[in-house]
Amino acid sequence: MSWQARIDEALEQRRQHGLLRTRTANQQGAGRWRLQDGQRWLNFASNDYLGLSQHPAVIAGWQQGAARYGVGSGASGHVTGYSEAHAGLEQALANWLGYPRALLFISGFAANQAVIAALAQKPDRIVADRLSHASLLEAAHLSPATLTRFRHNDAVALRAALAKPCEGQQLVVTEGVFSMDGDSAPLAEIAAVSREAQAWLMVDDAHGIGVLGEQGRGSCNAAGIHPELLVVTFGKGFGVSGAAVLCSESLACYFEQFARHLIYSTAMPPAQAVALHAALNCVQQGDALRARLTRHIQRFRDGAQQLPWQLAASHTAIQPLIVGDNHAALALSATLRERGIGCSAIRPPTVPPGTARLRITLTAAHEDEDIDTLLEALHDAAGI
């Protein structure tokens, strides 16, 4: 089959199954509202959980950083791209999260790929939760190590997987909060089982950092664990983008030698590091924002009990409604859109077949009345 025929066939298959992905251009920021084609709708689809993408202090941080450093880092951090802004942010993150070192990456995707690629060798085994993010599973698939996926959030299944003979080292991989279900991993149990098996634990807390735990320190802080590797990302609770890997001094030094996404990629703009430092301050002082988000989550769950779609077992800002059929999920998303509400229909292969869903995300930028508007539209769509 020619290149073109192969591409046409893949697209046609996606189309036929209601799975064709498209992107729509936003005309303003990621906050409470979304503006598209001149039409404004309530935004229940962003991961900007604390609303920090629009926070004046974070915006000012970026502006001041740009005024001082310019807009680009100019090179990899190993060449000339590493600035005092990066170093200061890494130190602040390490202190805040209780690790000797933090290393900044351009994205969570790159951080996950880099860590796994740098660590995993041929006789090793990566034991990952079945529902781990694509960046983790893909890295594991690409690595020379073998990949075993254990039943979602099941520490017993993890123990059984770790008990199978392995000639190399074992790395357990999971997330603090799962991005498509909003549920939290049983981290204390997972850490205990990993320790028992002398495996290292890597937790991707993309959706927990800033939002959960004391001062927003995330899922591991909330669970009282301290994994060998903690990945935090800044596109969600921090409202910006980028990521950091928290680890020991020797691991950080090892990644500085062997993490190819760090070495061969332009460092994040210093201005972004300044903005992230401002976002970190907002997160640390963000108890009121977190309390507001918690109130919205409760309001939504209380009001959604009667809906015909299964409400996920989530107490986080991610509140999916499991619709099942791909076309039905798309239709529900379109119905909400007509009511001025924006909310993504998530379909396979992002989620397992038969579990297409409306991924509703709540943020501190919402008002109580926004939650009520959403609930009313959902009840009308259900005909109740």
From 90, 175, 183, 228, active-site residue: 175
- Residue 258 annotated as part of some ligand binding site: no
Our CA dihedral for 166, 120, 132, 155, rounded to 10 degrees, sits at 30
| Residue 176 region by backbone torsions, left for phi larger than 0, else alpha for psi between -120 and 50, else beta | alpha
Q: Which stretch binds ligand PMP (CB under 6 A): 12-20, 103-111, 246-254, 331-339?
A: 103-111
Q: How far is the CB of 109 from ligand PMP (least distance, A)?
A: 4
SS3 annotation, 314-329: CCCCEEEEEEECHHHH
Among positions 113, 135, 221, 314, the unique one binding ligand PMP when judged by CB under 6 A: 135
Distance of CA 352 to the CA centre of its chain: 18
Give exposure, 144-169, as e/b (b: 16+ Cβ within 10 Å).
ebbbbbbebbbbebbbebbeeebeeb
Distance of CA 317 to the CA centre of its chain: 12
Residue 113 near ligand PMP by CB under 6 A? no
Our CA dihedral for 102, 103, 104, 109, rounded to 10 degrees, sits at -110
- Residue 299 annotated as part of some ligand binding site: no
**Token digits for 53?**
């993408």
Among positions 175, 181, 228, 370, the unique one binding ligand PMP when judged by CB under 6 A: 175
Among positions 29, 77, 108, 213, the unique one binding ligand PMP when judged by CB under 6 A: 108
Residue 217 near ligand PMP by CB under 6 A? no
Q: How many whole angstroms separate alpha carbon 173 and alpha carbon 166?
A: 16
Residue 174 near ligand PMP by CB under 6 A? no
- Residue 255 annotated as part of some ligand binding site: no
Nearest residue to ligand PMP on Cβ basis: 108
Please identify, using beta-carbon distances, which residue of 52 and 206 lies nearer to ligand PMP. 206
Residue 109 near ligand PMP by CB under 6 A? yes
Residue 204 near ligand PMP by CB under 6 A? yes
Query: What backbone torsions phi and psi does residue 43 show, to the nearest 5 degrees?
Result: -95, 105
Task: Specify burial of residue 246 (Cβ count, 10 A radius: 0-12, 13-18, 19+).
Answer: buried
From 86, 133, 261, 366, active-site residue: 133
Residue 107 near ligand PMP by CB under 6 A? yes
Q: Which residues are annotated as a binding site for substrate?
A: 21, 133, 350
Residues that bind ligand PMP (CB under 6 A): 107-109, 112, 133, 135, 175, 179, 204, 206, 233, 235, 241, 243
- The residues annotated with a catalytic role in the active site are 47, 133, 175, 179, 204, 207, 236
